[in-house]
Structure 1
């Protein structure tokens, strides 16, 4: 999760100036806060997360220690493939995250029956990725979701309406899962060429090749 700093800076004439930072990673935010406090010119220093929760420096250090071994800095790529002849879908997900000081990648796929369209397969792939996050124990964190399906991402952002009953049911399911995990999602539409790994996993699922692999990124 990213954090923003807000503080009061005291000028030489004792005038107080309110200041704030951009969004920073927890580690950088703490280092910045320590240097600000060391200057002796800062008061009322607070950290804020993207949900508006606030901490002082001591509380923030404790928080980062507690979550250090939990997955964080999560980016999810998803894609769905559809086979009209069999009404089967292939679901693909690639998840990048940090745990402690190490970076990992999960590649996973699944075959899903009784689909109606390629659009439905995209929704199912997104939900599949959420289930993986749940299994990882991800809670109360920011997550970026990247896919080449503009429709689902714009609908999740609330920018586009969804008129199909089947897709609306998937949207409800996805939104409920995001809420239950207390995620703070960011939705990013990417070109298809940048989603090749998730697309390949979806295709492999349709071919009956089941994959689940967690890899340490060096």
Structure 2
């Protein structure tokens, strides 16, 4: 048994986790408030545990996991995929940056930031800064490409200044990209990260647009392979 604190949208939440490892079964359980995620190598063991819990608590089996603490889960043929599309949209909305212009990189290659340059943020501004940085830390679960930039802005949590906030906003502007990856077997042959041309009113609409863009890219790649 253990516990973890996760900075979900800048708020620290406690998640309890339990691990059972025996020769016949391996089981992992995550508990957050009244939500439970159960991963097990044995369907029979899973059913026995759910039945045992039902004898003491009101338990409802919701089937396969689809959403938990900002993580969206889908099930392609070869496993499962995690994304944080809705989480990133909520983060941009909270920062008032839904209409912002996208950045092509998470950090500037020409500008540097330090602990002493620029004006100190106000007390409220510093609180907002720490909250945004904490939320970005959680976003690195599915966006490892922003890990270095997030680590840099984490270094100024004790006394954030205007240039540090500008750097955080650049990371957010980069995070709005819609990423497309095309594989030929195990090899990545095409990749794109760009802002969608129109503003989506929901994460579902944004996902449909991303699928359409990916389909167009895939058609072009297939045509290029067949041609050459």
The TM-score with structure 1 as length reference comes to: 0.29
- Select the structure with the greater relative contact order (CA < 8 A; seq sep ≥ 6): 1
